[in-house]
Structure 1
Amino acid sequence: MKRRPLSCFLIVRDEADRIEDCIKELAGWVDQLIILDSGSTDGTVEICQKYTDEVHQTDWPGYGPQRNRALKLCKHEWVLNLDADEKVTPELRDEIDALLSQEKLDVNFVKIPWHTYLFGKPMRRGRYSTPQGKLFLNHEGVHFKHSQVHEALQIPDVKPLVLKSPLLHFSWRTYQHMQEKHLKYACILAEEKQQKGKKGSLGFAVMRFFTDFIQQYILRGGFLDGKRGFFMALVLAQYAFHKYAALAALQMEQACQQDNEK
């Protein structure tokens, strides 16, 4: 049986230093390659235009809404959702081809092993090694969670499958980029929590630092990745602390404003 047609989309901004490594593996393989760019000024758009005619420039409404925009542009039922810092290996491509060539395919959500690189080597344990739901059947009711970050895919009546071949993930350019990215996400999440009426405190933020470190380093086996595992556990502990410290800061600011208005 011929492989089922496959659409692929990426949402990007200022990824000129690494996006070509991603999309050159996709062009000529996927049946539709969609790029949604939200204001790049570094040549990202021009690089993408060498590989696909479907390069769209938009504003930035947040991760969830942007992915839903891209999903509406997909022509085919099967969709691959990637980021510019990810790379499909030949082995993964072959495995996806074999899967989508099966005559009877009783799955709608395919998770792919994630090999996240930290300072030159992949981590094998912990949060950033968890298989990611990147390939799915776009049927009625499928959408990304309408959130600014951590926009989980929502699939009614999910029927999952986990592949064997990995997707390579190069999330952080440098240590500074890693810290900036996590701090940015933490502050966005804090704002979302405040809008939903959730409360935070510095005490809870400190507690989360320690519990998230233990979860990543001990419970998820981060210690098996040696120095990189210890490093990643500390970074994720900081991330948890910043989420709730930022929420506490927003609450203190709000309380001061209310007092001044009295």
Structure 2
Amino acid sequence: MITGVVITLNESKNIKDCIESLQQVCSEIIIVDSESTDGTVKIAESLGAKVIHQPYLGDGIQKNVGLDYASNDWILSLDADERLTQEAIIAIQALNLETTKHDAFALRRRNYIGSRWIKQCGWYPDFCIRLYNKNKTRFAAVKQHAAVQASNPDRLDADIIHYSFEDIGQLFAKPGRNFSGRAAKIMYEKGKRANSLSPFIHGINAFIRKYFFQKGFLGGVDGMTVALSSGLNSYLKYAKLLEFQRDPKVLEKADFKKVW
């Protein structure tokens, strides 16, 4: 028996398909919602999911909240914009979770922009541990980019689908709106500091890694776009960190208690 756990914030466009995907292999669904103002909660409850209301604590911490409410030992964690493929459903159903020696299982993740599957830039196969035994492991208690800290995981020969961005505009909007600012706050709180060259150096390095070393050049315009976005995100992250250091007025206004 498996419990599906999803964290949400205003995911009314995605939550129905996500829950219906999880219901193919899960006996219960738990939604940990961080104060959605759209129809997310209503939709989730109408589909039989149990909704836990929890102001956002950060990525890994938030994803672990649902474990206390799960009646099953095995947890399947998806983001609201992720779906199981039919192959993933079959692979999970074939597992004997009562006797397995593994504490977790990873699946390949197909990342999309719109309806376009991005196979370069490190976006595929992008193995992610999503099925795990809560008594043996869980997500790292970090505020951003959390991963399950399994000691003996295995890989399933199957994919999950991730509708990462609706279009290119969203790809470029998110680094400025969410990702870079959140990362800069986390770095500042950890005592990390930047110098005047840091934004440029990290931005260029991120672009080169995506476009050349992770073969973004094979992806045509989409490969270039993802590489540029990665470079911009890294540039903004360190530029904002430097701004916290250099501008007392900006630092004073920054709400470090809120990372969402």
Structure 1 length-normalised TM: 0.88
Q: Is the contact made by 2:52 and 2:66 (CA closer than 8 Å) also made in structure 1?
A: no
Counterpart of 1:153 in structure 2 is 148
Report the Cα distance in structure 1 between the residues aligned to 2:77 and 2:49, rounded to whole angstroms.
18
Misfit runs of 4+, over 6 Å? 255-258
Report the Cα distance in structure 2 between the residues aligned to 1:103 and 1:60, rounded to whole angstroms.
33
Q: Is the contact made by 1:38 and 1:59 (CA closer than 8 Å) also made in structure 2?
A: yes
Comparing 171-180 with 220-229, greater Cα deviation is found at 171-180
For the pair 1:200 / 2:232, whether they are aligned, the reply is no
Equivalent position amino acid for 1:222 in 2: G
> Which of 228, 237, 247 is the aligned partner of 1:234?
228
5 Å-filtered alignment, 1:90-169, equals 90-98=86-94, 100-101=95-96, 104-129=99-124, 130-140=126-136, 142-155=137-150, 158-169=151-162
Report the Cα distance in structure 2 between the residues aligned to 1:245 and 1:171, rounded to whole angstroms.
25
Counterpart of 1:44 in structure 2 is 40
Q: String of CA shifts for 1:116-173, please: whole Å, max 9, x gaps.
A: 1113210112232211111112224x23233222122223xx1122222110110212
Report the Cα distance in structure 1 between the residues aligned to 2:72 and 2:217, rounded to whole angstroms.
42
Counterpart of 1:178 in structure 2 is 171
Q: Is the contact made by 1:14 and 1:42 (CA closer than 8 Å) also made in structure 2?
A: yes
Displacement of 1:221 after TM fit? 1.9
Counterpart of 2:26 in structure 1 is 30
Report the Cα distance in structure 2 between the residues aligned to 1:122 and 1:50, rounded to whole angstroms.
31
Is the alpha carbon distance of 1:28 and 1:51 closer, same or farther for their aligned partners in structure 2, counting shifts above 3 Å?
farther
Equivalent position amino acid for 1:147 in 2: V
Q: How many residues align structurally?
A: 250
Identity of aligned residues (%): 27
For the pair 1:58 / 2:51, whether they are aligned, the reply is no
> Which of 212, 215, 221 is the aligned partner of 2:209?
215
Q: Is the contact made by 2:243 and 2:250 (CA closer than 8 Å) also made in structure 1?
A: no
Equivalent position amino acid for 1:204 in 2: S
RMSD: 2.1
Larger gyration radius, structure 1 or structure 2? 1
Q: String of CA shifts for 1:85-129, please: whole Å, max 9, x gaps.
A: 00111111001111x237742212211111111132101122322
Structure 1 spans left out of the alignment, 5+ residues = none
Counterpart of 2:2 in structure 1 is 6
